[in-house]
Chain A
Amino acid sequence: MPEHHKSNRLAGAALAALIVALPGSFAAAQKIAFERYTLDNGLTVILHEDHRLPRVAVNLWYYVGSKDEPKGRSGFAHLFEHLMFMGTKNVPIGQFDNIMEGAGGSNNATTSSDRTNYFESGPGELLELFLFLEADRMTGLSRAMTLEKLNTQRGVVRNERRQSYENRPYGQLWLEVPALIYPAGHPYHHPVIGSHTDLDNAAVSDVIDFFDGFYFPANASLAIAGDFDPEKARTLVKKYFGAIPLRAKITRKKPPAPTIEGVVRKTLTDAVELPLACFVWHSPAFYSEGDADMDIVASALARGKSSRLYRRLVYDKKLAQDVSAYQSSSLLGSKFIIQVFALPGADTKENLERLGAIEREVDAVIAELREGGVTAREIGRARNSTESAFWSDLESLEEKADLLNRYLFHFGNPGAVERDLGRYSKVTADSTSSWTKKVLKPNGRLILHVLPEEKKGGKQ
């Protein structure tokens, strides 16, 4: 679910997983103009002109994520992403960022279970620099790798783990979920951030193997968006990326679809004030049939005060402080997640009773959806608010470039706006009812509780 960033400065990057939904009439009118071509070495290039401001964004996807990590190397894809900033023979350590900032550019990168993206933006005249730097590390990152560099980023990443999970309320939860719902050997069995032990065991030879295995033109796509001359851009892309040798595409086998037998239960304790009930189901893969339905189901369940779960649990029954629900979409299969923060009880016994009551209410609300699906009003609400969010997302060149790469990755075509948005106009009460039946099964889910630690000595 969570993505990991090279640096935590750009909180906006976390929006990359935003799902978009537009009414049909609108979708037909909406397109992002682009040009797409492929270099001889297999690199797909997407160009999108937008001359509103003197800015350019470069966005490079590598088709590798935590799902591709070898056994005993959990967290490596993300650690590798950090290493991509540690310099090459041409751009010594530290200079990637120094040069870029010196000229007014900024950059970041994120790793998910499915892919790793690298992106930079800045004044239009930086296009050549961006392309040079990306091509340079695609060409020769591993030749300049040292144990010292690896150790530096190992330390940084282990602190990212501490900051984002261990020292964050309820953070432990997201470290536990993958192994509880995916069987050993499934590519999603471990969290993207990995374990301290595996991060510790990573060696320079792993970096070289990973680079050779995944970092080459045919396993990547390059999007350029903004204020540039397309002819010049094509020349520059050829100049810097053209000489990287051709390598055959990777063929991957799709793992069998995972299932959860019965109800898997787990209870954690954490230094928190409010008990949490978290429900997790397997759900349709990113952009596959049912994915859009589950987005709209999530919206009907928990988006805003008038949503079904919020109304029931926070308003009427006064059992909860807050609720959330979302379809967390990924390539090989998604997760549907409901989280309910309960009002705190006096002790563990009372907390457990409250979580039990919450579970009954959640089940009752899901039963209603299974029966009748979402209403036309709820569908309208979900479509309009996501249309609004879609537009706001497209204001940013960085997001636009990333979306083009995302469409290419999932649909095999960057021009998938209509196809993507069209999915939402097909959603009906019946289709949501049938997907709710298929996905939100009472038997076949994970129920996780996080309980506040028992207080000692009356300290706050």
Chain B
Amino acid sequence: MMATARKTLAGSLLLAVAVLLAGCAGGKERVVIPIPPASAAPVSLPEPETFRLSSGLEVWLLHSDHIPVVAASLIVRSGSSFDPKGKEGLLSLAMDMMDEGAGPRSALELADEIQFLGAGIEFSTGKDYSSIDLQVLRRNFGPALDLFSDILLRPKFSDKEWERVRRLSLNSLKQRGERPTTVARVVGDRLYYGEHPYSHPEDGYSSTVQGINLEEVKKAYSAALAPGNCVLLITGDFEPAALRNELEKRFAGWKGPPATLPEKAVYSPHPQGDEKGPLRLAVVDKPGAAQTVIRIYLKGKRYESSSVPSLTLANTIFGGTFTSRLNSNLREEKKITYGASSGLASRRVWGHLVATSSVESGATALGISEFFRELQEMGRGRLRKGELRKAASTQRSRLIKNLETQAGLLGIYSTAAALNLEPTERRAFYAAMAAADEKSLEAISEKTYRWKDALVVLVGDRGVIDEALDELRKNGRAKGGLPLKKFQLPPAKYFNREGLPEAASTGPDK
């Protein structure tokens, strides 16, 4: 213990000094903090048992018997990036309609029966792929599977339900505009991805949802929900042959065209290619807002890129944990926010990195300048002592924690299933993370954290934001912040809550 603690403590000058001071002040013996060596033993990921049903549907079975519950996730290899231009939100609406009456049951009967079985069926649409998740008490798996297969194979798509679903969707799009962090995402994605099919939100825009009809919804359903376009991930206490039988009974007659990816989703280049920058500032007005949402986009990596393991670790250091650089600075040092973080979105064809925080309105300038300072610092590519170990330990622990729950377990395999990769592809990913060295993190950081290439989205009171930007331009720093090196802000552009330019966008900066 003693040796371990010393070794770790040596890494922290601050701690060593403080212990010494405590010793002087109290005249007591030194307290030793019992820090164990960081465990690096590889975490073993179970290999799913895979088989194919007669309909062509692929099944990945993972055993779990710690609770008498079954979790299944039908991965559909189509996402919102497959929505035709002008019909943004189509696939998400098609998914919403699937449980509005199916097989012999009306929408209400279906909802009643699902609940009665202690089951839940959830739909979600992502950019690359979608999923339909079933959770049910093990003893009710059979009847729940009947309902699940009705929903997948025999949805009714009735006019009456469509009228209601559309009305509710349009209202929830209105409500989306009330939530400033969601607005920042919708606007940011739209500006960052531009003409790329990743640009629009999964639930579409008011104008496009308005123009979608039930026939189009049915077509989108038929194109996506085909056995060759889906993989069923399932975990529970099953004997594989018996499960296979249960599934065959329900899915034998499932037919559909062979799956094809739309060209654009496969081949679309990154919107910015390999070009640099330029730094862009986008502002969305939320009059009288108590906080300003700052959301910064940088170029990321596609899912299969070999740089993702190193970038994941680097980003864990940047904004991926409580003691990350961003949170330590903006929350614990500057105390202008409840939290600041960053995350990676690594998708089929491209990815991005987002750093974000809601800062109190009065500290908008300081918030922006501190994000830039942290980006500049990270972009220098110099790790601090202990950072890599912390990031690696954190990632390892999160993986073990994922194995704790059925949903976490399935989550490890869902992208592999969606992108048609080997079921065990994550093993290599986690092995690469465990093996990553400081050099690889430093190299990827220099390439990634380039503030001059950033898109900065600000959602808050426009008057407050304009003033903050003026202050930064005039002084090259924010009050209470350090000066920024070679820092120049472009004129801001103004957008509405769905990312369309505001008429007055050229006003204040000219």
* Shortest CB distance A312–B (Å): 12
Residues of A within 8 A of B (CB): 7-9, 52-55, 89-92, 94-95, 97-99, 101-107, 121-123, 125-126, 128-129, 132-133, 136, 151-156, 158-160, 162-164, 166-169, 271-274, 303-306, 311, 314-315, 318, 321-322, 343-344, 377, 380-381, 383-385, 387-388, 391-392, 394-397, 459-460
Is the Cβ of B328 less than 8 Å from the Cβ of A89? no
Of B124-132, B194-202, B237-245, B331-339, the one touching chain A: B331-339
A contact residues around B172 at 8 Å (CB): 321
* Contact among A104, A160, A162 with B394 in the assembled complex (CB-CB below 8 Å): A104
User: For the complex, is B223 an interface residue (Cβ under 8 Å from A)?
Assistant: no
Is the Cβ of A306 less than 8 Å from the Cβ of B111? yes
Is the Cβ of B290 less than 8 Å from the Cβ of A162? yes
Is the Cβ of B401 less than 8 Å from the Cβ of A304? no
Is the Cβ of A388 less than 8 Å from the Cβ of B36? no
Of B10-18, B249-257, B422-430, B448-456, the one touching chain A: B10-18
* Shortest CB distance B322–A (Å): 5
A contact residues around B177 at 8 Å (CB): 273, 460
Is the Cβ of B393 less than 8 Å from the Cβ of A92? no
* Contact among A162, A164, A384 with B360 in the assembled complex (CB-CB below 8 Å): A162
Q: Give the size category of B's interface with A.
A: 35 or more
B contact residues around A133 at 8 Å (CB): 33
Interface residues of B in 84-130 (CB under 8 A from A): 107-109, 111-112, 114-120
The distance in angstroms between the C-alpha atoms of A9 and B291, with both chains bound, is 19
A contact residues around B360 at 8 Å (CB): 158-159, 162
Is the Cβ of B107 less than 8 Å from the Cβ of A274? no
User: For the complex, is B50 an interface residue (Cβ under 8 Å from A)?
Assistant: no
For this complex, 20 residue pairs linking A to B, each with C-beta atoms less than 8 Å apart, are A7-B322, A8-B339, A90-B19, A99-B33, A101-B394, A102-B386, A123-B39, A125-B39, A132-B33, A136-B31, A152-B332, A156-B338, A163-B358, A164-B338, A306-B111, A321-B168, A388-B137, A392-B406, A392-B407, A460-B177
Is the Cβ of B386 less than 8 Å from the Cβ of A384? no
A contact residues around B288 at 8 Å (CB): 271
* Contact among B178, B322, B496 with A271 in the assembled complex (CB-CB below 8 Å): B178
Is the Cβ of B14 less than 8 Å from the Cβ of A385? no
Is the Cβ of B36 less than 8 Å from the Cβ of A126? yes
Interface residues of B in 164-181 (CB under 8 A from A): 164, 167-168, 171-172, 174-175, 177-180
User: For the complex, is B417 an interface residue (Cβ under 8 Å from A)?
Assistant: no
Is the Cβ of B171 less than 8 Å from the Cβ of A53? no
* Contact among B36, B120, B290, B335 with A155 in the assembled complex (CB-CB below 8 Å): B335
Of B62-70, B307-315, B372-380, B434-442, the one touching chain A: B62-70
The distance in angstroms between the C-alpha atoms of A166 and B460, with both chains bound, is 13
Contacts between the two chains (Cβ within 8 Å), count: 230
User: For the complex, is B35 an interface residue (Cβ under 8 Å from A)?
Assistant: yes
The distance in angstroms between the C-alpha atoms of A122 and B39, with both chains bound, is 11
The distance in angstroms between the C-alpha atoms of A160 and B107, with both chains bound, is 40
B contact residues around A380 at 8 Å (CB): 116
Is the Cβ of B171 less than 8 Å from the Cβ of A321? yes
Is the Cβ of B397 less than 8 Å from the Cβ of A105? yes
B contact residues around A168 at 8 Å (CB): 179
* Contact among A53, A97, A167 with B322 in the assembled complex (CB-CB below 8 Å): A97
Is the Cβ of B108 less than 8 Å from the Cβ of A129? no
Task: Map CB proximity to A onto B364-407 as digits: 1 under 8 Å, 0 otherwise.
Answer: 00000000000000000000001001100110110011011111
B contact residues around A154 at 8 Å (CB): 335
The distance in angstroms between the C-alpha atoms of A137 and B390, with both chains bound, is 23
* Shortest CB distance A162–B (Å): 4
Known: A103-B36, A132-B33, A132-B34. A122 touches B115 (CB 8 A): no
Interface centre among B140, B286, B339 (most CB of A within 10 A): B339
User: For the complex, is B359 an interface residue (Cβ under 8 Å from A)?
Assistant: yes
The distance in angstroms between the C-alpha atoms of A92 and B360, with both chains bound, is 28
Cβ-closest 5 pairs across A and B: A155-B335, A384-B118, A104-B393, A92-B18, A306-B112
* Contact among A9, A54, A103, A273 with B178 in the assembled complex (CB-CB below 8 Å): A273
User: For the complex, is B323 an interface residue (Cβ under 8 Å from A)?
Assistant: yes
* Shortest CB distance B497–A (Å): 6
Known: A7-B339, A388-B119. 10 other contacts (CB 8 A): A8-B339, A53-B404, A89-B22, A97-B323, A129-B35, A156-B338, A160-B338, A306-B109, A391-B68, A391-B137
Task: Map CB proximity to A onto B26-41 as digits: 1 under 8 Å, 0 otherwise.
Answer: 1000010111101100
The distance in angstroms between the C-alpha atoms of A321 and B338, with both chains bound, is 31
The distance in angstroms between the C-alpha atoms of A322 and B167, with both chains bound, is 12
Is the Cβ of A167 less than 8 Å from the Cβ of B180? yes
User: For the complex, is B321 an interface residue (Cβ under 8 Å from A)?
Assistant: yes
B contact residues around A123 at 8 Å (CB): 39, 396-397, 400
* Shortest CB distance B13–A (Å): 11
The distance in angstroms between the C-alpha atoms of A392 and B135, with both chains bound, is 9
User: For the complex, is B289 an interface residue (Cβ under 8 Å from A)?
Assistant: yes
Known: A90-B31, A92-B15, A102-B389. A272 touches B111 (CB 8 A): no
B contact residues around A459 at 8 Å (CB): 285
Is the Cβ of A305 less than 8 Å from the Cβ of B36? no
Known: A163-B291, A272-B178. A54 touches B400 (CB 8 A): yes
Known: A128-B36, A315-B164. A159 touches B397 (CB 8 A): no
The distance in angstroms between the C-alpha atoms of A29 and B404, with both chains bound, is 22
B contact residues around A315 at 8 Å (CB): 108, 164
Is the Cβ of A384 less than 8 Å from the Cβ of B35? no
B contact residues around A152 at 8 Å (CB): 332-333, 335
A contact residues around B108 at 8 Å (CB): 305-306, 311, 315
A contact residues around B396 at 8 Å (CB): 104, 123
User: For the complex, is B8 an interface residue (Cβ under 8 Å from A)?
Assistant: yes
Is the Cβ of A92 less than 8 Å from the Cβ of B14? yes
Known: A101-B321, A101-B323. A377 touches B337 (CB 8 A): no
The distance in angstroms between the C-alpha atoms of A314 and B167, with both chains bound, is 11
User: For the complex, is B136 an interface residue (Cβ under 8 Å from A)?
Assistant: yes
B contact residues around A103 at 8 Å (CB): 35-36, 38, 393
User: For the complex, is B25 an interface residue (Cβ under 8 Å from A)?
Assistant: yes
A contact residues around B120 at 8 Å (CB): 385, 388
Is the Cβ of A99 less than 8 Å from the Cβ of B35? yes
A contact residues around B180 at 8 Å (CB): 167
The distance in angstroms between the C-alpha atoms of A388 and B18, with both chains bound, is 49
Is the Cβ of B8 less than 8 Å from the Cβ of A396? no
Task: Map CB proximity to A onto B277-298 as digits: 1 under 8 Å, 0 otherwise.
Answer: 0000000011111110000000
Known: A151-B335, A385-B120. A104 touches B397 (CB 8 A): yes
- Closest chain A residue to B409 by CB distance? A395
Known: A123-B400, A344-B171, A397-B404. A91 touches B331 (CB 8 A): no
Is the Cβ of B15 less than 8 Å from the Cβ of A122? no
Interface residues of B in 331-349 (CB under 8 A from A): 331-333, 335-339, 341
* Shortest CB distance B2–A (Å): 13
Interface residues of B in 451-490 (CB under 8 A from A): none
Is the Cβ of A166 less than 8 Å from the Cβ of B290? yes
B contact residues around A395 at 8 Å (CB): 66-67, 404-406
A contact residues around B135 at 8 Å (CB): 388, 392
A contact residues around B403 at 8 Å (CB): 53
